[in-house]
Amino acid sequence: MSEPTTPSVPPTPPVPLSALLAREDLGLRQIAGPPAPDTVIHWAHTSEMADPYPYLLGGELLLTAGVHVPEAAGAGAYFDDYVSRIVAAGGAALGFGLAPVHDTVPRALVAACEAYGLPLLEVPPRTTFSGVARAVWQLMAQARLAELRRVTEAQQSLAAAASRPDPVPSVLRQLAQRLSAHALLCAPDGTVIASAGRPPVPGTQEALRKLTVVVRPHTDAPRDAPASATDALGDTQLAAYALGGSSGFVLGVATRRREPADHTIASVAAVLLSLLTGEHQSGAGAARSSALVRLLLGAAPAEVAGLLGNGGRWLVVHARPENGTPDPVGAAALGAALGSPLIDLGRDVVRVLVPAGREPAAQPGWTLGVGAPAEPDGWPAADAQAARALARARATRAPLVRHGARPGLTELVPRADAAEHARALLAPLAAGPALTETLRTWLSLHGSWDRTAVALDVHRNTVRQRITRCAALLDTDLDDPDVRMELWFALRHH
């Protein structure tokens, strides 16, 4: 049987042995092996096998009552062989339970654990092995919750830093603060363009620069480079992350010790820096800023659309997360997936302006509504189309709905005449915009109370009351299909 080279541990934070010893309800006592702060436990396992090696994965606190120990064990090499097999399997510590088999921990076992550097715990008679295992899992759950909270807080602070006037230095400073690290950003030519945090040891920055070469894409084979790489400088942990695919920018991070959540936090920073450096490299960010300034100074949308590229034809996309509310990082990731950095983050909805040549696809975790391709003067109408498409997508539980703009019977009536007819027919509802929108949504969903309520985020009784009010004001029978058809025609031109 081949011996494992590294323990196979679960994707959860380990438990310091010292935290387990600190539990007064367990009454555990370490009687051999290295100091507890240097040992971590990944799980607890009970076994009375004379050779537990085949049943260990590594990182365990192995619990035994010594049922397997022969009477003459203290006089031979039994405990030496037993402990060496636990260490070879990657076991983290051994817990020996007192009573009913042994009143004391065998001296030969204590000596073997000292010789092999395996922490040995004495488990008192009042403490069950299941109680020890439960304590391990409780401590792991607490550590996991603390880790998730740390990642969430770091993500929020990094996103806030990315929205500052100096986003790149701000993100690096926040990353260095969150990880107690030294962080730097290297340009495609290897030049350090920004850094934050004090280097842990002399030579840190130069070591990081050398590591960034490993992940920096080569001109002739950009896909040959890995996305990230790690190394060490003494006790200092080094990591490098390639940004933006083949852009050439690289993030370097140096920490005294690597915590379980550090990689996740650094990855969030890498995503944000990818977006920021991508704009810096391409110059598109400057063009968009110029377009915004011109709009604020009174230019017409058609005059500045050329700065955005794509010949002025764009799609308006409305998106809403399936769970919760949108956040800056999620909105940025959605824009990247749709191929556009032109994002408007609202309270409940994210709006994205997408080049008409890029057909939006459904995105996991999001519900999308897409308007028809439009020139700058048609963007407000396309925005309204996308909003209605999103409402229909949410009502029908579809991941994506596109506005249907194909020619139909409406083309047979001049637009001005149709608009005049719509104003006259819907005049009784003019004082109540909510009534008009409810009628529009209700008709689009074939008179479904529940689906209309979902689309409008109101109670179904509110929908019934509004539709009843519409019928009274219009003095018509909304169950008549001819009436519905005429009203739908009018709403299309209203």
Q: Specify whether 398 is located in the same domain as 320.
A: yes
Run of H or E including 319: strand 314-321
Q: Are residues 62 and 125 in the same domain?
A: yes
Whether 95 is in a domain gets the answer yes
- Find the mean pLDDT for residues 290-311: 68
The reply to whether 361 falls in a domain is yes
Query: Is there a domain that residue 254 lies in?
Result: yes
pLDDT of residue 83: 96
Helix (H) or strand (E) holding 174: helix 167-179
Query: Side-chain half-sphere of 421: how many Cα atoms within 13 Å?
Result: 15
Q: Given this model, what pLDDT does residue 131 score?
A: 95
Say which amino acid occupies 176: A
- Asked, for residue 434, whether it belongs to a domain, the answer is yes
In CATH, what number is assigned to the domain containing residue 442? 1.10.10.2840
Domain boundary among 402, 431, 449: 402
Q: Is residue 478 part of a domain?
A: yes
Burial 187-211 (b: 16+ CB within 10 A, else e): bbeeeeebbbbebbeeebeebbbeb
At residue 280, does pLDDT exceed 70? no
Per-residue pLDDT band at 416 (split at 50, 70, 90) = confident
CATH label of the domain that carries residue 113? 3.40.1390.20
Residues 303 and 375 in one domain: no
**423 and 358, same structural domain?**
no
CATH number of 181's domain: 3.30.450.30
213: tokens are 């070469």
pLDDT at 86 over 90: yes
In a domain, 153, yes or no: no
Non-local (6+) Cβ contacts of 194 within 8 A are 168, 169, 172, 184, 185
When mean pLDDT is compared across 223-237, 263-277, 354-368, 469-483, the lowest value belongs to 223-237
Residues 481 and 381 in one domain: no
Instruction: Give yes or no: residues 220 and 326 share one domain.
Output: no
> 89 and 62: one domain?
yes
Q: Of 97, 123, 139, which residue constitutes the final position of a domain?
A: 139
Choosing from 353, 378, 402, the residue where a domain stops is 402
DSSP code per residue over 126-160: TS-HHHHHHHHHHHHHHHHHHHHHHHHHHHHHHHH
Q: What percent of the chain stands above pLDDT 90?
A: 30
Residues 13-60: tens digit of each pLDDT: 788 999 999 999 999 999 999 987 779 999 999 999 999 999 999 999
Residue 89 lies in a domain: yes
pLDDT of residue 6: 44
Distance CA 152, CA 271 (A): 15
| DSSP result, 344-390 | EE-SS-EEEEEETTS-----TTEEEEE---B-GGGHHHHHHHHHHHH
Give the whole-angstrom CA distance, residue 270 versus residue 183: 11
pLDDT of residue 127 exceeding 70, the answer is: yes
Amino acid at 101: V
CA atoms in the 13 A half-sphere facing the CB of 137: 7
The number of distinct structural domains making up the chain is: 5
Mean per-residue pLDDT, 132-146 = 91
Confidence at 359, pLDDT banded by 50, 70, 90:
confident
- Domain range for 445 is 409-492
* 243 and 300 housed in the same domain: no
The pTM score is 0.48
Regarding whether 186 and 127 lie in a shared domain, the answer is no
Q: pLDDT tier at 303 (50, 70, 90 boundaries)?
A: confident
328 and 383 in a single domain? The answer is: yes
Is residue 231 domain-shared with residue 254, that is, in the same domain?
yes
CA dist 445 to 97, 342, 397, 436, 449, Å?
Answer: 68, 31, 12, 14, 9
Whether 70 and 92 map to the same domain: the answer is yes
Looking up residue 379, the CATH number of its domain turns out to be: 3.30.70
Domain membership flag for residue 389: yes
- Looking at residue 93, the DSSP 8-state letter turns out to be E
Lowest mean pLDDT across 195-199, 220-224, 389-393: 220-224
